[in-house]
Amino acid sequence: MKLLHGGDYFPEQWLTRPETIEEDFKYFKEAKINTVTVGMFAWSILEPEENHFDFTWLDQVFDKAEENGMKVILGTPSGARPNWLASKYPDVLRVNERLEKNRFGGRHNHCFTSVNYRECVRIVNEKLAERYGHRESLLMWHLSNEYSGECHCDQCQSAFRLWMQNKYGTLEAVNQAYWNTFWSHTYSDWSHIHSPNQLGEMAVHALNLDWRRFVTDQTIDFYLHERAAINKYSTDIPVTTNFMADTEHLIPFQALDYSKFSKIVDIVTWDCYPAWHNDWETEADLALKVGFINDLYRGLKEMPFLIMESSPSFVNWHDINRPKRPGMHKLASTQLLAHGSDSVLYFQMRASKGSSEKFHGSVIGHVPPERNRVYQEVASLGERMSQLDGLVGSMKQSDIAIYYDWENDWAIKDIQGFSKTNLNYHHTLHDHYRPFWRQDVNVDVITKNNDFDGYKLLVMPMMYLHSRDLLAKVQTYVEAGGTVVYTYMSGMANETDLVYDGGTIPGLEDMLGIVISETDVYYPSQRNQVKFQDASYEVHDYATVFETTSAETLAIYGADFYQGQAAVSVNHYGKGQAYFMGARTGDDFLSKFYGELLDQLTIVGNSVAKSSDSVSVQTREDSEGTRYYFVMNFSDQVQTAEVPQGLIDVSTGLPVEATLTLQGFEAMVLTSK
């Protein structure tokens, strides 16, 4: 098995210039490219008219790949429908949330419910599977591209109502779950139920949650429809699709619940596009966010994942599209491998001459490879990856898990309480991840899919939407000897966003050994303090006012009407312990708190010492016990790091000193073999 190096290739753009395709494969070979992904945007070339197919060019791509010892990831083209299809079957186009019918255009502009669209997709997918399902070079099926978006057409409204009927059974159950007597929003007929939209209902929080759940389920159903067509002729090739991240902070993609979606893909793949060298954070701060989301997507199936897309340099859709500095591409790609990827794949292999992505970064750009710095850096990375085949399938060993939940995320955004500007669920997750990142301690970011067994520490920040099943799972974990950390704004609402009687889910306060009375909220300039041991630490945004029952007080508030009351506590519960962090604090307190907890739980990091927190040391370990150390300098300054003695530099095959010196943006890969 090899690490995959390559990416999205669109030879259909160059069919009138076959010499370009010949040239591409020459450059691919020189850069140690071993995989190409083709077909996702080629529907109008594959099927220029309905039921008239032309696979000649795609046959030739497979032939060229096999001649050069390369693998092919074959995409299905449902992510970009042809014009003739939308003209003949206008129902395939979406209706937006303003209830306006879209015209043909763009890319994600298709209704997942449309019977006509599903039938056209079935036909083309079956044709592809029948023709290419047994090709020697076929490595994987890539269904569609970046599934996303929603449709509010009549077909989708009918499907949503059926989904609601299957979930709740009766309108009475819906009205109770939604608390619809408020504002006289009671449903008296199933036809009253409509998707949240700007012209109608957006204030019923449970409806908003259920619509997000429906959109996820409908997208999954469409994926399964595509997969069934492929599996008619191809059953032994892995099938997947590419997940995404959101915003410049690389938060989990908000439109779909990937914890559900990941159950029906054979391997998680995702598209990673950090805004390196921006002006609002350091490279190390951004690297932390990249690390967090990679740890989340690795955890979805508890196995290595694939980076399906990344840019060799810049993108074309950030506000500012800055090229990577020299060395940054190898560093950023090494980080992806360090956190569990078995690939570095790109969008795109050759730059398009026209349209919206002509200035997106590419392996072969508009400037010829011979004088193209980006291509040379891709080739250098290809050389490194060719030395790391033993990494394939290896995992990260983690004693710590941070819990993330998509539905909780949606509910917090819709909360209409506490603060409009400082909810910051994702920032809070990053804040609790940072102390471990800085100490080079491996972390798994987990979801409701994962078991808690085997973790010494479970961190659950801001679990506002909290089911009884989840609480029972946490209680079992703690009773058996686990350690859990809860924070402010946790356990307040059930799965339909109804506040629990008493303000907190029954059983949580008992496990924590506290009684919560209220949450104080600060304006941006207001501060409090917590006094922990012999120091004071700043509090901002939120402070939970609570009393201890069986818990021990670890820190107290320094001011306001709850001065002297508990701010942080720990309760012994069964064989384990449950911490409650009532206040939102800065990094100084979190580093102190978690540093002591790591010592108490005997959890150690991957490095002994380093000159700066801009250095990250991550590890992966294979089934035979060989450990790979990834030592990465996320700064433009020379840094040092200490690692265990006896390690070998993969690039040179030579032993290294215990103290490493890294140049700016340098990454080293060491092995214990």
Who contacts 182 (Cβ-Cβ below 8 Å, separation ≥6)? none
Measured over the CA atoms of residue 57, residue 59, residue 62 and residue 67, the dihedral's sign is negative
Phi, psi at 268, each rounded to 5° = -75, 130
Strand partners, 83: none
Which residue in 577, 499, 502, 585 sits closest to 541, CA to CA? 585
**Of 126, 484, 460, 445, nearest to 302 (Cα)?**
445
Q: If DSSP codes are grouped into helix, strand and coil, which group holds residue 269?
A: strand
The secondary structure of residue 146, as a DSSP letter, is S
Dihedrals φ, ψ of 207, to 5°? Answer: -65, -45
What b/e readout covers 249-270, taking b as 16+ CB neighbours within 10 angstroms? bbbbbbbbbbbbbbeebebbbb
- Type of residue found at 654: L
Instruction: List C-alpha distances in Å: 425 to 137, 145, 415, 460, 581.
Output: 44, 28, 12, 11, 15
Q: Which residues pair with residue 4 across a beta bridge?
A: 343
Ramachandran angles phi, psi of 467, nearest 5°: -85, 160
What is the three-class DSSP state of 610? strand
Is 120 annotated in a binding site? The answer is no
Tokens 């064989």 sit on residue:
575
| 225, amino acid identity | H
Catalytic residue, chosen from 12, 47, 126, 146, is: 146
Q: At what angle do helices 154-168 and 205-231 cross, to 10 degrees?
A: 100
Tokens found for residue 81:
């429908």
Whether residue 107 is annotated as binding a ligand: the answer is: yes
Taking the C-alpha atoms of residue 314 and residue 300, their distance in angstroms, rounded to an integer, is 28
Half-sphere exposure of 172 (CA within 13 A, CB side): 0
Q: Which of 47, 226, 309, 495 is catalytic?
A: 309
Residue 621 appears among annotated catalytic residues: no
Give residues with Cβ within 8 angstroms of 625, minimum separation 6: 672
Separation between Cα atoms, residue 229 and residue 45, nearest integer Å? 20
Which residues have CB under 8 Å from 508's CB, separation 6+? 466, 471, 486, 490, 491
298 is in an annotated binding site: no
**Angle, nearest 10°, between helix axes 115-132 and 205-231?**
40
Gap between the Cα atoms of 342 and 393, Å rounded: 7
CB half-sphere exposure, 322, CA atoms < 13 A: 11
Rounded alpha-carbon distances, angstroms, from residue 223 to 44, 187, 220, 257, 299: 21, 32, 5, 14, 21
The span from the CA of 572 to the CA of 487, in Å, is 17
Q: What angle do CA 25, 30, 31 make, to 5 degrees?
A: 95
| Widest distance between CA atoms in the chain | 77
Tokens 């710590």 locate to 400
Q: What is the DSSP string of 514-583?
A: EEEEEEEE--TT--EEEEETTEEEEEEEEEEEEEESSSEEEEEE-SSTTTTSEEEEEEEETTEEEEEE-E
153 carries a ligand binding annotation:
yes
Residue 307: CB atoms within 10 Å = 25
Q: Is 657 a catalytic residue?
A: no
User: What residue numbers does the annotated binding site for Zn(2+) cover?
Assistant: 111, 151, 153, 156
* Catalytically annotated residues: 146, 309
Question: Annotated binding site: which residue ranges?
Answer: 107, 111, 145, 151, 153, 156, 317
